[in-house]
Amino acid sequence: MKKLLIPLMFVAIIVGLFEQSKDKPNIYILCAAVAVFMYGMMVLTSKVPSKDKKEEMEDEDE
């Protein structure tokens, strides 16, 4: 899944930047690019444990 998300996020960034550089950018394409990028970031960061859980585990060990 990660191998598919990272290139998809880069494509969304490139499409968003390219669309933004036009004289009259299409707002729907920009919104879709931002939505795809934010969804990818949400999925990728959901795998990272939070700092609070790590501190709770250390407190329980003591």
Is 0.85 surpassed by the pTM of this model?
no
- Sequence-separated contacts (24+) of 34-43 with Cβ below 8 Å: 36/8, 36/9, 36/12, 37/9, 37/12, 37/13, 40/5, 40/6, 40/8, 40/9, 40/12, 41/9, 43/1, 43/5
- Cα distances from 40 to residues 3, 5, 6, 36, in angstroms, run 11, 6, 7, 6
Segments making up each domain of the chain, as ranges: 2-61
pLDDT tens-digit profile of 5-34?
A: 889 999 999 999 999 999 999 999 999 999
